[in-house]
Structure 1
């Protein structure tokens, strides 16, 4: 802490011994004692220094103490300086009166009592110090007020000339200040700003999101930054960026919020224009790539079709023109047959792609045993694998269960994957095939090879039509590049998924197919049934349906007609039970009655739409109700249902609706 500075005390006496005596008496005060031997010398000191108190001898040659006191009092700077007269002579009242009239605050007679003198001087010293402290505080306060005034003027200037709108709200959310730019952006007066929130100008489509995010900000107190469309007078729509941050008191509590609004319409328009340019550029590049890819495909197609024709025509002419022995004839016929089969497969692939493009590829559904399918596919590729001395590792789970699907198409999927694995794996390599149950209700088929692998940049394109990693005339393998695209489409038709992974070129690849297991345990169709009647009788095969209805008869009826169509049904009596079931399983479709005790169907679907995606948020849903008014239908759809069916209804209509919305899952 800085030591307190000493104050000045002026001692005026023409006799040095008196000055020395005063200096000794006042030494304990530890202040700065200034000595003057005449009134003139005292006045000279007063020109340059301030004094807490003056001890002034009355009887001095030349200018006496009374004259000196009068001159001291005549100066503005020393007018209030306390003067104590010291004298050894007259003690009459006239002399004391003259001294007080000259401006003295006290009049002491010599010899002076040192304790009295010290106490009196000490009082004036303390008064002086307090006065100086008050002056310093006053100066500091004046400086602070000046700085505050400058700060206020600077804020007012910045706020007035700010290119963004500024607003201030209190802790309750009421607007307390807006700057001119805010008023200009919103096209309202300063008085109107105090009654209207910026939320009132947000366009209707964005208002719910804006209100929700704003209320979350007010409750949580984090920084706020959002962009919304604002609708102003004359139906003018502008994009604005809203920012806000809390204003905190010294104790950390929120006393209000300060925010800005900024017109970013030009920026948004520029971004939209730039995005459109990028889209158009990407579309052009994609079109150019597609045209190049089609040209390459046509060249490959021509090559692939002409190659077997060359062999077939060549051997046919040899058979016509030359008489071959039995071995030669057999060799010729084998070559013709082999190339005819290869060409037939090429044509089938082209036809399949054509059906896929037109949306005309249909499945002939039945109950399929995947073990049989995989075994048959393995038997077909085993000769080629043995020719290359490939090791086939097979691991098939005997208890994996069955799937609903088209046995022919599923065998096509497995055969294609196995054929590729054998084709692209060099001699003495290995191909692994596994079948296992995953995630309770799914089955996984994996085909892994030690072949040429797939480069990272081509991996995302491996299932695209007309795509081949090598489309040059020097490519090492034949084919049109359609097989994996067909496989991908067939797996998706079975509501499954397929993925491909590869560590890189020369490090092999793994293709994994996931299919939903058939959950219905009451049908007894034979595995591999592919008849059209099976497809017609089981349009809901493999689907998991959740029924919610408090009426037991209705519940049983719904369960019966839906199970008859091959679905796996779970039936519950209330909204609470339905929510509990959703935590355990993932149904493909929800069918709910509207009028139920406790929570009705509207409440149930609203709760479901707030759940996480993995627990049923987007589940396709059908509402059943005895009410048939148009407003009832609208209410059901607005609540979150996809379909609305009035009671009584035709079972076939319900089945059709289920089949329709099941595609959404």
Structure 2
């Protein structure tokens, strides 16, 4: 938008009409004081400013405008009939003007200058947008690099922990075997087996995320009984965490079309997280119901919960809640893999949580065959 500032009404009207004829949006002010008020409220690409005005003259207005951060990109053209000497022209430029035109005004010249300033403004605007976009992209590369480095560090630590434990148990086993202590041998073997299972789980997650990135995560979809899957998972979880009571609510008695192994992987992830992040509690609820044409499954715990900010990022790759990362082990990819599995089933995954009161993770998947998602 262009602002014309002139104390002579005829000049305002005639110049406004000419500019509007060429599709420029025009605003007017009849004094310097009025112009300053408008500059504070509105954004202008160009200000055409008369020099000779009662009260504040054009030079004073320009100097005041130059102090406004909002108007730092605004171009100013001075118009003057009386002050045509070099010293006035020089003062115009030093006051912040980009051009100084003497009256009577050649409208063709003025129009060319206005069009030129608009073109420069548009080019600057596009350059600023490109610069902003480039800076954002650079920051995104930096953030991605930081996350990658952090992930490598975490993965290295998480993989070394069970390996170190297994190595220690093997050394203890050697001593127990030499002593013929069968009971101790069995105990150490059991503990080594737990660590090997942990290591196997970590490696499986790393392989899954690699397959997701390359688009090679395979799905074997067919009909299966969701209730049988849930019962089997609960049995397995009871064996590994007998101190936790998993209460099953709902009984769908229905078949689901999907990859049974991958859906089981999601349910196990929900339950494992519920147990991990619920120290001091001993109960988890698993609900399974039919909602419309979909299957709804949720796992609710009464643990540490999450804040609103944490909820936004919980399904992102490599995300780990800062204040829990030192207390709880993990690579920060389990929920990301779970979300990709549910998406590939044409479903929806989500979480409800209150800090200090626990979390409820859930997913909804279609009950029937969906060819579009089967071909993904």
TM, length-normalised to structure 1: 0.39
How far off its partner does 1:659 sit?
7.2
Max Rg structure:
1
| Counterpart residue number, 2:370 | 542
Query: Could you tell me which of 18, 31, 40 is aligned with 1:180?
Result: 18
How far off its partner does 1:374 sit?
1.6
**Larger RCO (CA within 8 A; separation ≥ 6):** 2
- The whole-number CA distance in structure 2 between the counterparts of 1:268 and 1:366 is 57
| Counterpart residue number, 2:294 | 442
| Counterpart residue number, 1:81 | none
| Counterpart residue number, 1:291 | 145
- State the Cα RMSD in Å: 2.6
SS at match of 1:491: helix
SS at match of 1:433: strand
Contact persistence 1:402–1:517 (CA under 8 A): yes
| Counterpart residue number, 2:258 | 405
Contact persistence 1:377–1:418 (CA under 8 A): no
Summarize the alignment of residues 566-581 of structure 1 with structure 2, pairs less than 5 Å apart: none
Contact persistence 1:296–1:471 (CA under 8 A): no
Residue 497 (structure 1) aligned with residue 335 (structure 2)? no
Contact persistence 2:262–2:341 (CA under 8 A): yes
How far off its partner does 1:384 sit?
4.3
- The whole-number CA distance in structure 2 between the counterparts of 1:457 and 1:302 is 28
SS at match of 2:218: coil
Summarize the alignment of residues 299-338 of structure 1 with structure 2, pairs less than 5 Å apart: 299-321=153-175, 322-338=178-194
How far off its partner does 1:463 sit?
1.0
| Counterpart residue number, 1:515 | 365
How far off its partner does 1:428 sit?
2.9
Residue 478 (structure 1) aligned with residue 366 (structure 2)? no
| Counterpart residue number, 2:209 | 353
Q: Deviations over 1:244-295 (max 9, x none)?
A: xxxxxxxxxxxxxxxxxx9866555444433333322222222222222222
How far off its partner does 1:482 sit?
1.2
Q: What are structure 2's unaligned runs of at least 5 residues? A: 1-7, 25-113
- The whole-number CA distance in structure 2 between the counterparts of 1:471 and 1:265 is 51
Q: Deviations over 1:279-335 (max 9, x none)?
A: 222222222222222222112111111111112112222323442411100011112
Contact persistence 2:281–2:302 (CA under 8 A): no
Q: What are structure 1's unaligned runs of at least 5 residues? A: 1-153, 163-178, 187-261, 519-540, 544-587, 589-657
Structure 2 CA distance for partners of 1:397 and 1:482, relative to 1, 3 Å: same
Residue 278 (structure 1) aligned with residue 126 (structure 2)? no
Contact persistence 1:384–1:422 (CA under 8 A): no
Contact persistence 2:281–2:303 (CA under 8 A): no
| Counterpart residue number, 2:111 | none
Structure 2 CA distance for partners of 1:308 and 1:265, relative to 1, 3 Å: same
- The whole-number CA distance in structure 1 between the counterparts of 2:167 and 2:147 is 30
Structure 2 CA distance for partners of 1:497 and 1:270, relative to 1, 3 Å: farther
Contact persistence 2:173–2:189 (CA under 8 A): no
SS at match of 1:457: helix
How far off its partner does 1:341 sit?
1.0
